[in-house]
Amino acid sequence: MDHYLTDGKRAIPKLIAVNDEGEELFVWGPRPREAQGIFERNLQAGLSKPQAMERLHHWYSKNQGKAIESEFAEIFKKMKQLRLLSS
């Protein structure tokens, strides 16, 4: 678990996929790239963590899971290209 920390913390889960041999196929998380960028920019702009989280939750509400869906489609497409995922 310590190999997959986010900024040294265990607070936000990640999705890690490995094959039968234990080789890492992909790591996703802790949140969609766009959401992570929003969160980091808000903290860098001086917002408190609760304020940054409020803005992030607003983004999630408007996005309705589209970013996550898009990122997973990208992951699955790459896995198919590498023949790591069947049709």
Domain count, the chain: 1
Task: Reduce the DSSP state of residue 16 to 3 states and report it.
Answer: strand
> 86 pLDDT band (50/70/90 cuts)?
low
Considering the domain boundaries, does residue 87 fall inside one? Answer: no
The whole-number pLDDT of residue 81 equals 85
| Span 59-72, average pLDDT | 97
Considering the domain boundaries, does residue 40 fall inside one? Answer: yes
Domain boundaries, position 39: 2-81
Per-residue pLDDT of 9-63, as tens digits, reads 776 778 888 888 888 889 998 899 999 999 999 999 999 999 999 999 999 999 9
Rounded distance between C-alpha atoms, residue 39 and residue 80, angstroms = 31
Considering the domain boundaries, does residue 33 fall inside one? Answer: yes
| Secondary structure letter of residue 40 according to DSSP | H
Considering the domain boundaries, does residue 43 fall inside one? Answer: yes
pTM score of the predicted model: 0.77
